[in-house]
């Protein structure tokens, strides 16, 4: 398995990662995950400033790019409040998984 550097994650063709998170597709997926998690942080049960976290990033070898944020199986997405999300990213590195490897 090849490990991608963090800078590659921001790539996703011409759009920045923050642009991708503004899309309608992501808003729909985000809502779905928030509903599933009862609109609360899975870590501290806060209901404020909720965000959806990816437990892994997937690099698709067929398209030579990262999978769009909304194209993940729901099991890889969890609801966290802004605080827990920040702390999580500061303490753990999100693993990058290569998919469709030839």
Look up residue 23 and give its two tokens: 């899309």
Q: Considering beta carbons, is residue 56 or 100 the nearer one to Zn ion?
A: 56
Least distance to Zn ion from the beta carbon of 100, Å? 23
Q: DSSP string spanning 11-25? A: TSTTS-HHHHTTSHH
Least distance CB 46 / Zn ion (angstroms)? 5
Residues that bind Zn ion (CB under 5 A): 41, 43-44, 46, 53, 81, 84
Residue located via tokens 């998170």: 21
The residue count for the chain: 102
CA 96 to chain centre: 11
Q: Which is nearer to Zn ion, 39 or 100 (CB)?
A: 39
Q: How far is the CB of 102 from Zn ion (least distance, A)?
A: 29
């Amino acid at each position: 398995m090849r490990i991608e550097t963090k800078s590659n994650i921001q790539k996703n063709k011409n759009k920045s990662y923050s642009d991708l998170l503004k899309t309608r597709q992501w808003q729909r997926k985000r809502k779905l995950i928030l509903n599933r998690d009862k609109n609360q942080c899975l870590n501290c049960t806060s209901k404020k400033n909720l965000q959806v976290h990816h437990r892994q990033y997937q690099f698709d070898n067929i398209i030579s790019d990262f999978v769009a944020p909304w194209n993940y199986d729901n099991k890889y997405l969890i609801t966290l409040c802004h605080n827990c999300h920040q702390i999580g990213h500061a303490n753990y590195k999100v693993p990058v998984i290569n998919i469709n490897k030839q």
